[in-house]
Amino acid sequence: MSWNISYSILLVLLILILYSSIKIFREYERGVVFTLGRFWKVKGPGLIVIIPGIQQVVKVDLRTIVLEVPTQDVISRDNVSVKVNAVMYFRIIDAQKAIIQVEDYLNATSQLAQTMLRSVLGKHQLDDMLAEREKLNQDIQEALDVQTDAWGIKVGNVEIKQVDLTESMIRAIARQAEAERERRAKIIHAEGELQASEKLFQAAQILSKEPQAIQLRYLETLTVIGADKNTTVVFPLPMDLVSSFLEKSKKA
């Protein structure tokens, strides 16, 4: 009876040892294996066997990780305070470095992204943050990629999600935009006046060569005025128009 009990206990222990020595990794997973605390190799995917008590394995996910970068207070190059948040996409390309070179690669990458976001955006003006977001995304991605390369991490993309301004800054930008529109309107109006004056000057030169043309133009203007439904029309009569009649009356 005691032999049967011992045999059962031994069988259970053997099953437990066998169960703990077999690991199955999916296609996107890798196992970093340590033997007596020393790095041995990276294994997987599929079925791997380790020696319980002597070897330990740390599972690493190689899929792209989406990391939300919390909202950061950023002071731009032109001393404007804004709140910026972003999202970062990265993945592990070297499981050995991700486990050995950094204690917690996820937290380390998150902290580095927050610091790099403030550092890179602080070198640019507010207009760049609002108008050149694609370029800023690329600058942040490249800066992060250089730092995380030692951890076996590849930063694929960084996207600035939102840039929040204070109410006073929003009003200031609105006033600036309105002033810019007024400036453009005045310039367009001035250019129109200049072109009109040039055309009037050319017309005056042409009319001055033919005095009869001035009289015809005057009569045409009277015709346009008379077309309106006016009861009384007061208009000046140029002396050049009646000078010939006055000369004839004097001779008579």
- Give the tens place of pLDDT for each residue, 195-226: 877 777 776 666 666 665 666 666 666 666 66
Same domain, 156 and 194: no
Same domain, 121 and 178: no
- Sheet containing 55-61: give its strands across: 38-43, 29-35, 55-61
Domain count, the chain: 3
Q: Which residues pair with 125 in a beta bridge?
A: none
Same domain, 156 and 205: no
| pLDDT of res. 204 | 67
Same domain, 133 and 185: no
Please check whether residue 40 lies inside any domain of the structure: yes
Please check whether residue 9 lies inside any domain of the structure: no
Nearest alpha-carbon partner for 27 in 72, 69, 61:
61
Please check whether residue 183 lies inside any domain of the structure: yes
Contact 33, 54 (CB under 8 A): no
Residues above pLDDT 90, as percent of the chain: 38
Same domain, 94 and 152: yes
Average pLDDT over residues 124-150: 90
| pLDDT of res. 233 | 58
List, for residues 12-45, the tens digit of each pLDDT value: 777 777 777 888 899 999 999 999 989 999 998 9
- Residue where a domain stops, chosen among 125, 145, 165: 165
Per-residue HEC secondary structure of 140-178 comes to HHHHHHHHHHHHCEEEEEEEEEEEECCHHHHHHHHHHHH
Average pLDDT, rounded, for the chain: 81
Same domain, 115 and 195: no
CATH code (residue 70): 3.30.479.30
Per-residue HEC secondary structure of the chain comes to CHHHHHHHHHHHHHHHHHHHHEEEECCCEEEEEEECCEEEEEECCEEEECCCCCEEEEEEECCCEEEEEEEEEEECCCCCEEEEEEEEEEEECCHHHHHHCCCCHHHHHHHHHHHHHHHHHCCCCHHHHHHCHHHHHHHHHHHHHHHHHHHCEEEEEEEEEEEECCHHHHHHHHHHHHHHHHHHHHHHHHHHHHHHHHHHHHHHHHHHHCHHHHHHHHHHHHHHHHHCCCCCCCCCCCHHHHHHHHHHHHHC
- Residue where a domain stops, chosen among 118, 145, 165: 165
Same domain, 82 and 151: yes
Same domain, 69 and 53: no
Give the integer Cα–Cα distance in Å for 44 and 50. 12
Please check whether residue 213 lies inside any domain of the structure: yes
- Residue 32: give the domain boundaries: 17-60
Please check whether residue 24 lies inside any domain of the structure: yes
For the whole model, what pTM was predicted?
A: 0.65
Contact 68, 92 (CB under 8 A): no
Average pLDDT over residues 93-114: 93
Higher pLDDT, residue 240 or 47 = 47
List, for residues 89-98, the tens digit of each pLDDT value: 999 999 999 9
Higher pLDDT, residue 225 or 11 = 11
Higher pLDDT, residue 153 or 200 = 153
Please check whether residue 219 lies inside any domain of the structure: yes
Please check whether residue 11 lies inside any domain of the structure: no
Same domain, 214 and 137: no
Residues above pLDDT 70, as percent of the chain: 73
Same domain, 220 and 147: no
- Residue where a domain stops, chosen among 165, 191, 212: 165
Same domain, 160 and 87: yes
Please check whether residue 2 lies inside any domain of the structure: no
Same domain, 151 and 239: no
